[in-house]
Amino acid sequence: MVLTLQDRIADRVQRADYRDWRDKVTATGGCAAPIRLFGAWRLHNLDSSKVLAHLSGDVMVPCGNRRASVCQACSDRYAADAFHLMRAGLSGGSKDVPVSVAEKPRIFATLTAPSFGAVHNRPTTTAGGKVRPCTGCSEFHHPDDPRIGGAVDPDGYDYIGAVLWQAHAGKLWHRFTIALRRSLARAAGLTVRDFKHHARLSYAKVAEYQRRGLVHFHAVIRIDGPDGSTDPAPSWATVDLVDHAVRAAARSVQVETHRPDGTVLGLVWGEQVDVRPIRAASAHEVEDDAGTVSDGRLAAYVAKYATKGTGARDTPDRPIKSQLDIDHLRVSDHHRRVIQTAWDLGDLHFYENLNLRKWAHMLGFRGHFLTKSKHYSTTFKRIREDRRAFRAAETLERLGLDAESVIVVNDWAYAGSGYANDAERELASGIAERLRAQRQRKYAREGDTDESVAAA
């Protein structure tokens, strides 16, 4: 007799160890692919060898994948951490950043990739948001039309240039930050060497894939005093000056590489550079009619990008291992050609240092999705350490113990990953959905329905 999924779920729920298993899954937030560990945890008295508390057996820890397409639970946790990191740099109030940062010159900039050929799109009017015909084929596309983002003329589209630009996007951003410091120094009448004695450039950026498969960068840019977030910005630093410097820097930078035939290829930012001032405002407003962006929700708005994948539907979330993988991908022809181009270029010795085959599943992009300058705000490490310390304090309080008088001994070994079968995976998915719904209801009651804030 072949059992259905419902039968297998019912069987798992009725087992004697189900509640213990459910509690372990709940502790991971309903992780889709938890890491299973086997071992022991002990609390010792600091002044003697006496064991105050002991736990042995197997435990589950979250997989930690930031992509929502891989694990929604861990993605929510990553988005929450990204939210706090971004918000700390915008509004302050954390252990590392004072609230005075909200008074400094701040802008929200978006830098895009250049055009490598016409693609299908769904433009709208600026005033009323009315849909206009595609500039490539003159048709009216449905929002879910798979052709959107794809090349109008695949044979004429510069797939090689697109992949090489993607592979160098991180380097292009690095050149941009150098040029931005120079542009700010020049505008302030300073030498580049003297700039660091008067001001510091602080930023956090997130990469987001466009439908055409190329990333663009959203960045919060702030001007601090020379000592960072705790130091007032110089009087000459204004929003207008930063706006002008960002646009000038974006126009000036270029990274040179070569096509397979040896032709020099200059990689630059796209013509579309968007710069908007950030203002302290109500948490219920993202943008006003003047185009300024409120810092109330900007952290959540940006944090969403950090958990996205390529934007190409059903693309793999792990590196491609063979040509056969590419042949069986369920993707649009456009994205398949981008992946194929990255795979083919990766086989050439000329591009060996780019590791394009390793990053073919990411359409050639090799950079981190969220990066920040040292003094922008707190760090992921600090946020996670604070969370661990809070949970440890909760455990000690529950046991009636003092943190100053105990020492924790952990001895765990890897036992596997994921769940035993589809029944457990389905149950874990239900637990994750329940926990996520609880968070959203909680934040809805508090007047904020934004998913990223709910995740936080």
Highest mean pLDDT: which of 44-58, 80-94, 435-449? 80-94
Task: Categorize the per-residue pLDDT at 435 as very low, low, confident or very high, splitting at 50, 70 and 90.
Answer: very high
Please state which of the ranges 139-143, 236-240, 293-297 shows the lowest mean pLDDT: 293-297
Q: Does residue 427 carry a pLDDT above 90?
A: yes
- φ and ψ at 113, to 5 degrees? -85, 155
Contact residues for 339 (Cβ-Cβ < 8 A; gap 6+)? 315, 320, 326, 329, 331, 360, 361, 363
Task: Categorize the per-residue pLDDT at 1 as very low, low, confident or very high, splitting at 50, 70 and 90.
Answer: low
This prediction's pTM: 0.84
Q: Does residue 83 carry a pLDDT above 80?
A: yes
Greater confidence (215 vs 445) lies with 215
Task: Categorize the per-residue pLDDT at 267 as very low, low, confident or very high, splitting at 50, 70 and 90.
Answer: very high
How much is the pLDDT for 447?
A: 56
Q: Does residue 449 carry a pLDDT above 50?
A: no
| Alpha-carbon span 339 to 329, nearest angstrom | 10
| Alpha-carbon span 275 to 291, nearest angstrom | 9
| pLDDT average, residue stretch 167-188 | 96
| pLDDT average, residue stretch 448-456 | 48
Interhelix angle 18-27/422-445, rounded to 10 degrees, is 50
| pLDDT average, residue stretch 93-121 | 91
Q: Does residue 167 carry a pLDDT above 90?
A: yes
Q: Does residue 233 carry a pLDDT above 50?
A: yes
- 444 dihedral zone (left: phi>0; alpha: psi -120 to 50; beta): alpha
| pLDDT average, residue stretch 30-44 | 92
Task: Categorize the per-residue pLDDT at 281 as very low, low, confident or very high, splitting at 50, 70 and 90.
Answer: low
| pLDDT average, residue stretch 56-75 | 89
| Alpha-carbon span 219 to 1, nearest angstrom | 58
How many residues does this entry show for the chain?
456
Q: Does residue 456 carry a pLDDT above 90?
A: no
DSSP SS3 for 426: helix
| Alpha-carbon span 352 to 16, nearest angstrom | 54
DSSP state letter for 215: E
| pLDDT average, residue stretch 391-414 | 83
CB 428 within 8 A of CB 21: no
Task: Categorize the per-residue pLDDT at 133 as very low, low, confident or very high, splitting at 50, 70 and 90.
Answer: very high
Give domain limits for the chain: 5-66+380-455, 98-116+158-372
- Burial class of residue 411, CB neighbours in 10 A (0-12, 13-18, 19+): exposed
DSSP state letter for 134: -
| Alpha-carbon span 13 to 285, nearest angstrom | 45
| pLDDT average, residue stretch 422-430 | 95
How much is the pLDDT for 232?
A: 94
Q: Please identify which residue in the block is written with the tokens 């200059």.
A: 266
> String of b and e for 171-189 (b: at least 16 CB within 10 Å)?
ebbebbbebbbbbbbebbe
Mean pLDDT of the chain: 88
| pLDDT average, residue stretch 428-447 | 85
Residues facing 39 on adjacent strands: 57, 412
Greater confidence (449 vs 27) lies with 27
| Alpha-carbon span 135 to 121, nearest angstrom | 7
CB 82 within 8 A of CB 306: yes
Greater confidence (309 vs 422) lies with 422
How much is the pLDDT for 95?
A: 67
Using CA atoms, how far residue 188 sits from 219, 230, 427, in Å, is: 22, 21, 60
| pLDDT average, residue stretch 15-35 | 95
What torsion do the CA atoms of 409, 414, 420, 424 make, to the nearest 10 degrees?
A: 40
| pLDDT average, residue stretch 240-261 | 96
| Alpha-carbon span 391 to 400, nearest angstrom | 14
How much is the pLDDT for 69?
A: 80
Q: Does residue 154 carry a pLDDT above 90?
A: yes
- The β-bridge relationship of strands 51-61 and 35-45 is antiparallel
Highest mean pLDDT: which of 48-57, 321-330, 440-449? 321-330
Contact residues for 277 (Cβ-Cβ < 8 A; gap 6+)? 106, 107, 108, 239, 243, 291, 292, 293
| pLDDT average, residue stretch 233-240 | 95
